[in-house]
């Protein structure tokens, strides 16, 4: 994204989104009339970003935007694709011709065939973003974290607005306006770094900072950080053997993010045994997973995907039975399933892949124990899934007896095979949170029979 640096003393606005530019770009879909189908995906985005490094007191800010397009074209047995940032309608016309020139049978992917539609999306005209709001957010977040004893290394606030539009030569047109506010923080401890995030699907001064501060405070308490005002005088020890385990939402996040990978059509295609298990009880009956965009508290993040398919509610695991997958058009066709509107591009240069929109693990199922290992601190270890299906974390927490904390559990490595470990699930808590570090999924505490 092109950005304009801004000093802390003055704010910098982004330039406005343009529905007219999106409409003009979509008209290029008719530039190769002999093709069987041409699909254009247009992405007009703006952002305002601020970063604070408390150790130096330096704040940097930037505002800007980018206009990108991606084209997919089918003709006979051939398939071609091209994508990049574009500068105008002539550039989009050229992009479509590049996709036609690249068409080859070796690149074939399933051709979506959604019904033609009239674009009835509200033409929202938001005010341009301004770095001043992001700068206030980083300073207020840092001040609140310092008040609970956190050694804040960096705070990043990002505000986004974007329009996406999908158009096809056969008459489909779907457009969508969306906005988002996100805050990322990194705090240092003597045991390692803590990474946390908060996010809202709207432009707001508070994307969930109370919950973020609470999660950081709980982690500092578990680590016996001397600057944490809530710390108890309890020595840390290794996890006691034989106790069940409760992963609080911030620690369960990588497992729930792993579920969105496990339950995708791409994983089903590469794991034949998984697709063959549809209809079977693959997990304990306390596990229920779905993806229901309308259930998101900020409203549906998407009502259709980047291939123009309606983003329908999808049930994935029902009382432990595997009942479905997240699908792009291509994965649905290859597995013989119905598409469900989860073909999402993770950038202009990416092809649509199955991704969750509002994944949620049902809360309050099964049971929670009285005596357990309570893990509510996860230290940063860069990659939580170093290879497919393998979760690796560094965690800490408490030993709990009769509902009371008895002593701290020192940081230790928590490694598990995702599918195998989910079979040890015994319950979910009533404390679900929507966590950016869980791919935006609604994540409750997870109770397991034992440590991996």
Query: Residues 242-291: pLDDT tens digits?
Result: 999 999 999 999 999 999 999 999 999 999 899 999 999 999 999 999 99
Identify the pLDDT of residue 327.
98
3-state SS assignment for residue 99: helix
The verdict on residue 224 lying in a domain is no
Q: Which of 126, 81, 125 is nearest to 103 (CA)?
A: 81
Between 363 and 236, the higher pLDDT residue: 363
> How far lies 408's CA from each of 122, 237, 400, 404, 423, in Å?
53, 6, 9, 12, 27
Beta carbons of 62 and 126 less than 8 angstroms apart: no
63: exposed, middle or buried (Cβ count in 10 Å: 0-12, 13-18, 19+): buried
Residue 226 lies in a domain: no
The confidence band for 2, taking pLDDT boundaries of 50, 70 and 90, is very low
CATH value at residue 9:
3.30.2290.10
Using alpha carbons only, give the angle 356, 358, 359 rounded to the nearest 5 degrees: 70
Grade residue 107 by pLDDT with cuts at 50, 70 and 90: confident
Mean pLDDT, residues 362-374: 97
Helix (H) or strand (E) holding 293: none
Does position 86 have pLDDT exceeding 70, yes or no?
yes
Query: Of 339, 343, 335, which is closest to residue 307 (Cα–Cα)?
Result: 343
Mean pLDDT over residues 95-122, rounded?
A: 84
| pLDDT score for 232 | 52
Q: pLDDT band at 108, cuts 50/70/90?
A: confident
Task: Yes or no: say if 35 and 74 are a contact pair by the CB < 8 Å rule.
Answer: yes
Q: Which two tokens stand for residue 452?
A: 């991996």
Question: Which distant-in-sequence residues (6+ apart) come within 8 Å of 123 by Cβ?
Answer: 19, 177
The Cα 305–Cα 342 span in angstroms is 6
Strands 314-318 and 289-291: antiparallel
H helical segments located in 377-440:
418-422
Q: Which of 218, 253, 278 is the last residue of a domain?
A: 218
pLDDT band at 16 (very low <50, low <70, confident <90, very high): confident
* Number of continuous H segments (helices) and E segments (strands) in the chain: 9, 22
- Assigned domain for 170 exists: yes
DSSP 128: P
387 in the same domain as 352? yes
- The predicted structure's pLDDT at residue 7: 42
Q: What is the mean pLDDT of the chain?
A: 92
Paired sense of beta strands 372-379 and 245-247, if any? parallel
- Residue 151, in any domain of the structure: yes
Look at residue 101 and tell me if it is in a domain. yes
Same domain, 317 and 346: yes
CA distances from 397 to 408, 409, 423 (A): 6, 5, 23
Does 46 fall in a domain? yes
For the stretch 33-62, pLDDT in tens is 889 999 999 999 999 999 999 999 999 999
pLDDT of residue 228: 45
pTM: 0.92
- The two beta strands, 404-417 and 236-237, are parallel
Strands 321-322 and 314-318: antiparallel
Same domain? 204 vs 253: no
**Domain enclosing residue 246, as ranges:** 237-448
Say yes or no: 274 and 187 in one domain.
no
Contacts of 223 (CB under 8 A, 6+ apart): 189, 190, 191, 377, 396, 408, 411
Cα 376 to Cα 54, 130, 140, 286, 398: the distances in Å are: 26, 36, 24, 21, 8
């Amino acid at each position: 994204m092109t950005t304009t640096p801004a000093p802390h003393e003055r704010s910098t606005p982004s330039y406005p989104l343009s529905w007219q530019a999106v409409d003009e770009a979509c008209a290029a879909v008719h530039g190769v009339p002999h093709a069987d189908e041409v699909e254009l995906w247009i992405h007009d985005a703006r952002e305002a970003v601020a970063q604070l490094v408390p150790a130096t007191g330096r704040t940097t800010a930037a505002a800007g935007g980018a206009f990108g397009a991606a084209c997919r074209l089918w003709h006979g047995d051939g398939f071609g694709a091209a994508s990049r940032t574009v500068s105008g309608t002539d550039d989009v016309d050229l992009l479509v011709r590049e996709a036609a020139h690249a068409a080859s049978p070796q690149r074939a992917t399933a051709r979506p065939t959604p019904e033609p539609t009239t674009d009835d999306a509200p033409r929202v005209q938001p005010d341009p973003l301004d770095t001043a709001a992001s700068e206030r957010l980083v300073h207020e977040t840092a001040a609140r974290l310092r008040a609970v004893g956190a050694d804040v290394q960096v705070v990043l606030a990002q505000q986004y607005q974007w329009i996406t539009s999908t158009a096809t030569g056969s008459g489909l047109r779907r457009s969508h306006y969306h906005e988002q506010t996100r805050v990322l923080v990194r705090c240092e401890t003597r045991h390692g770094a803590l990474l946390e995030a908060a996010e809202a699907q709207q432009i707001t001064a508070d994307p969930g900072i109370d919950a973020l501060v609470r999660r950081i405070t709980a982690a500092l308490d578990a680590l016996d950080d001397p600057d944490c005002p809530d710390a108890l005088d309890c020595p840390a020890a290794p996890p006691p053997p034989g106790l069940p385990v409760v992963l609080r939402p911030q620690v369960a996040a990588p497992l729930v993010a792993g579920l969105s990978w496990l339950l995708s059509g791409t994983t089903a295609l590469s794991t034949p045994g998984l697709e063959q298990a549809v209809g079977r009880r693959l997990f304990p009956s306390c596990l229920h997973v779905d993806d229901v965009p309308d259930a998101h508290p900020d409203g549906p993040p998407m009502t259709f995907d980047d291939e123009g398919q309606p983003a329908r509610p999808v049930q994935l695991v029902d009382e432990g039975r595997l009942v479905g997958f997240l699908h792009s058009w291509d994965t649905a066709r290859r597995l013989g399933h119905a598409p469900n509107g989860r073909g999402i591009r993770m950038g202009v240069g990416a092809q649509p892949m199955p991704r969750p929109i509002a994944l949620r693990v049902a809360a309050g199922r099964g049971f929670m124990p009285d005596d357990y290992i309570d893990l509510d601190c996860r230290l940063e270890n860069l990659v939580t899934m170093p290879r497919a299906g393998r979760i690796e974390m560094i965690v800490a927490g408490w030993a709990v007896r009769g509902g009371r904390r008895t002593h701290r559990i020192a940081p230790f490595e928590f490694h598990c095979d995702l599918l195998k470990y989910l079979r040890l699930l015994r319950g979910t808590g009533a404390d679900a949170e929507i966590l950016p570090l869980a791919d935006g999924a609604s994540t409750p505490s997870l109770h397991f029979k034992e440590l991996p």
